Amino acid sequence: MSSGKIKVFGLRACLTIALVTTIFIASPTHSYIVQRNTAVNKLCGDERLYFNETRKCYPAKKKGPCGELMVLEPSNADENIGECNCEYIKGALMCPQRPKVLWTQESRCYYIYEQGPCKKGEWVVPHKDAAPSCESIPCPEKYEARLKEKYYFSADSRFVFPHAGKCYQSYSQEGGFCPADEIVYFVGGDSLNLHCANPNEVVCGVSYTPDMECPDHSEPDFQGGCEPVTDL
């Protein structure tokens, strides 16, 4: 993979409003005025985040003014300021997820190893120290076959990825990357490294969004894809 060797793992802004609070203090002999300055740093006056580009406030952890597959999150520089980041389940290091990368040309995110903004026969490839790029798919037959599977969904943690000139499917035992009783998979915040674990230990929920629709007689599974409805 041109992005480098895969490793396998088991606007700061502040608005300060000076409020002058007038307190009237009375005593038996005289009255006097005390002035107190109060600094207010909450830009929106509630739990929302202020977005510099639109000069408006939006709910945190929602798409808000951000591009596709992104959410508004507190800035590291100022927790009152919102910034748009690719969405994934944070704090779930063992959770299989298909990573997303920022495509700055369109101010949105795309899933890795999917056609996305690329021309036919190419897919989005992540890089360690550079922006993602469009590159030729080394295994078009395997890639197209996965797309045609009945319950395929872009967010599914099971997708085709390249390694050393060949292609494999994540969330499987293909490639011999892991011990015999474990599967290989990606996690949301890491588009470069592979992870191994027993499949019974990595199942986790996903944050479903309105655009995650499954075909008839199927429903979302716990890896971000779709599976047949089980009749009990």
Q: State residue 229's pLDDT score.
A: 61
Q: For residues 207 and 104, what is the distance between their CA atoms, to the nearest angstrom? A: 24
Q: For residues 3 and 126, what is the distance between their CA atoms, to the nearest angstrom? A: 6
Q: State residue 6's pLDDT score.
A: 57
State the sign of the Cα–Cα–Cα–Cα dihedral 52, 57, 61, 63: negative
Q: State residue 119's pLDDT score.
A: 97
Angle at 152 between CA 66 and CA 8, to 5 degrees: 80
Asked if residues 47 and 74 have their Cβ atoms less than 8 Å apart, the reply is: no
Q: State residue 105's pLDDT score.
A: 96
Q: State residue 7's pLDDT score.
A: 60
Q: State residue 232's pLDDT score.
A: 41
Q: State residue 53's pLDDT score.
A: 93
pLDDT by residue for the chain (232 residues), tens only, comes to 444 445 666 533 333 333 333 333 333 333 333 332 222 336 887 888 999 999 999 998 999 999 999 999 999 998 899 999 999 877 655 688 999 999 999 999 999 999 999 999 999 999 999 999 999 999 999 999 999 998 888 999 999 999 999 999 999 999 999 999 999 999 988 999 999 988 887 656 443 333 446 667 676 554 445 666 655 4
At 150, list the tokens.
């009945």
DSSP code string of 112-133 = TTS-TTSPTTEEEE--SSS--E
Q: State residue 204's pLDDT score.
A: 64
Q: State residue 13's pLDDT score.
A: 37
Cα→Cα distances 77→74, 99, 118, Å: 8, 24, 33
Pairing of strands 218-220, 226-228: antiparallel
Q: For residues 181 and 169, what is the distance between their CA atoms, to the nearest angstrom? A: 16
State the sign of the Cα–Cα–Cα–Cα dihedral 86, 89, 93, 97: negative
Location of structure tokens 């700055």: 104
Any alpha helices (H) in the chain, and if so which ranges?
Answer: 140-147
Q: What does DSSP assign to residue 62?
A: S
